[in-house]
Amino acid sequence: MSKNLIEVPPVHETGKGAGRVMTMSTIAFTLMFAVWLMFGILGIPIQKELGLTDEELSWISAVAVLNGSMWRLPAGIIADRIGGRKVTLFLLFATAIPAYLVSFADSYMWLLVLAFLVGFAGNLFSVGTTWNSAWYSKERQGLALGVFGAGNVGASVTKFIGPPLIAATAGSTYILGIQGGWRLIPVIYAVLLVIVGVLTWVIVPRVDRAPGSSRTLRQMTAPLSSLRVWRFSLYYVAVFGAYVALSAWLPKYYVDNFGVDLTVAGLLTATFIFPASLLRPVGGWMSDRWGARRVMYFTFGLMLVTSGILMMPNGFITITHPDGAQTTHLHYEIQLVWFVILVFLLGCAMGFGKAAVFKHIPEYFPDNVGSVGGLVGMLGGLGGFFLPPMFAYTKTWSGFPSSTFFCVFILVAICAVWMHVTIHRMMTRATPETAGLIEPELEAAT
């Protein structure tokens, strides 16, 4: 054992085998993210089979997101104490069980329970963040975390493979006696989870880096009292929580409002998921080059513009002329192509913003990445839990499907105002001689 410990370099230096850690953690995170959000596609045939309402359907995705968020803080702390490898392996194998059982669900309550258990998959984010941070030096953490975070693209996997498989296997009997259609997808995911778990066990270094192994729980959670951490968390609700919610909600939005079939809806949703995931490394590079504060300004500005247009309901704008003798009706409607473009731009902004929020966590909290990243990730994920039911209820209350984007607009507006007020207060306290010196503090505060 002592020999193994000698072979492992200090925690904050890039260690031999770091590339294997990044590769396998990213593959595992991509798969787990696909499992976590699979009800975004599966929910549509499930709704038809079980006769669910929109509100009931929204809760199936919501409880999965809830369980994939609420344990991120303790999961990050545990990974800090015992190492990310052990926790990753546990989550991969443990999630395979409820994923397989989903294929047998035949009632709404049974689906709710299994969706909640499948949600454990979402907690891998804080574990992987801690795991990669421990294996890379500060100079390379940005890239490593950006590549790992791009595993969010897993949200699009079910959008691609789900509809064709569901259509091709409907009514057939396939693996282990499981009926085809939507029930085949969770079986495939369960098998893949076991395979990736075995590969992770074999490929990554056997000795974990655990930067929090020598510190008490109080020491590890001390930074959570900082308002800065909670501000990060609210920003992450806007750029990640809304991303998770829209990833699950958009397929149904496309089917209901544009009359496309499930396959096309999945592909169109992928045009939102891909930039929101794959541009995360670019967002990290932008944050390194221009600062996270500027990237967040750009992110919130673009999100406000796109969601502000998308939230406008289709209909007529009536103009009454001064003489009262004539009125003009102007028809307003966002066509499918413009809707897709705006949602694509919204996804780009979220991709940049997710990286910018996490830019400073390993830099300013190097020994507390698990706890700080866990809290930020937890609250961001909880945003993905609250938003889908909010989308459904605001639609029912207002009668406008576009109220979905009104919720996003209000959330982003609150974040943007809080960030700007914070920056303005810090700048007004600075003198011309010290303004340049507090730039690092400004970056950290935002």
- Structure tokens of 55? 């509100």
Q: Which of 98-102, 150-154, 249-253, 312-316 has the lowest mean pLDDT?
A: 312-316
User: In the beta sheet, which residues pair with residue 332?
Assistant: 315
pLDDT given for residue 195 in this prediction = 97
- Could you tell me if 418 and 234 are in contact, meaning their C-beta atoms sit under 8 angstroms apart? yes
Residue 276 predicted with pLDDT over 80: yes
CA pair distance 301, 380, nearest whole angstrom: 19
- Residue 92's contacts (CB-CB under 8 Å, 6 or more residues apart) are 28, 32, 193, 194, 196, 197, 200
Q: What mean pLDDT do residues 366-378 have?
A: 75
The per-residue pLDDT of the chain, averaged, comes to 81
Distance between CA atoms of 374 and 14, rounded to whole angstroms? 22
Distance (Å, whole) CA 135 – CA 209 = 7
Residue 167 or 367, more confident: 167
Average pLDDT over residues 192-208: 91
DSSP 8-state secondary structure symbol assigned to residue 322: T
Tell me how far apart the alpha carbons of residues 270 and 268 are, in angstroms, rounded to a whole number.
5
What amino acid occupies position 65?
Answer: V
Domain ranges in the chain?
11-207+220-445
- Residue with the larger pLDDT of the pair 330 and 183: 183
**pTM assigned to the model:** 0.73
- pLDDT tens, 37-93? 888 788 888 888 889 888 888 888 888 888 888 888 888 888 888 888 999 999 999
pLDDT in tens, 401-410: 888 999 999 9
**pLDDT reported for residue 328:** 61
Tokens representing 163? Answer: 């509809």
Encode pLDDT of 312-338 as tens digits.
Answer: 877 656 666 666 666 666 666 788 999
Confidence class for position 270, pLDDT limits 50, 70, 90: confident
- In this predicted structure, the answer to whether residue 175 has a pLDDT above a threshold of 90 is no
| Contact predicate 36/64, CB 8 Å | yes
- Which two tokens mark 316? 């007529």
**Longest C-alpha distance within the chain, in Å?**
92
Q: Kindly indicate the confidence band of residue 173, based on its pLDDT and cuts at 50, 70 and 90.
A: low
Give 104-162 pLDDT, tens digit per residue. Answer: 888 999 999 999 999 999 889 889 888 887 887 766 666 777 788 788 778 777 777 87
Among all chains, which residue has been given the structure tokens 């940049």? 352
Write the CB contacts of 397 (distance below 8 Å, at least 6 apart in sequence): 403
d(CA 305, CA 322): 32
Asked if the model's pLDDT at residue 213 lies above 80, the reply is: no
pLDDT of residue 192: 95
223-248: average pLDDT: 85
Q: Does residue 307 carry a pLDDT above 90? A: yes
Q: Among positive and negative, which fits the CA dihedral 5, 11, 16, 20?
A: positive
Which of 40-44, 126-130, 179-183, 301-305 is most confident? 301-305
pLDDT over 70 percentage in the chain: 80
What length does the chain have?
Answer: 446
- The yes-or-no verdict on residue 434 having pLDDT over 70 is no
Give the pLDDT confidence score for residue 217 in this predicted structure: 65
The whole-angstrom separation of Cα 56 and Cα 54 is: 6
**Whole-number Å distance between alpha carbons of 87 and 76:** 9
Q: How far apart are CA 130 and CA 288, in angstroms?
A: 20
Give percent of the chain above pLDDT 90: 28
Which of 46-78 are b and which e, b meaning 16 or more Cβ less than 10 Å from the residue's Cβ?
bbeebebebebbbbbbbbbbbbbbbbbbebbbb
Environment class of 279 (CB within 10 Å of its CB; exposed 0-12, middle 13-18, buried 19+): buried
346: pLDDT strictly greater than 90: yes
Confidence of residue 363 (pLDDT cuts 50, 70, 90): low
CB 200 within 8 A of CB 89: yes
**pLDDT surpasses 50 at 7:** no
- The end-to-end CA distance of the chain, in Å, is 43
Q: Is the pLDDT of residue 445 over 50?
A: no
Q: What would the mean pLDDT of 88-107 be, rounded to a whole number?
A: 93
Residue 14 clears pLDDT 80, i.e. is over it: no
Assigned superfamily of 11-207+220-445 = MFS general substrate transporter like domains (1.20.1250.20)
Strands 327-332 and 315-320: antiparallel
Taking residues 173-195, what's their average pLDDT?
A: 82
pLDDT at 391 over 80: yes
> Residue 179 carries which DSSP code?
B
Query: Is the predicted pLDDT of residue 367 greater than 80, yes or no?
Result: no
When pLDDT is averaged across residues 187-204 and rounded to a whole number, the result is 94
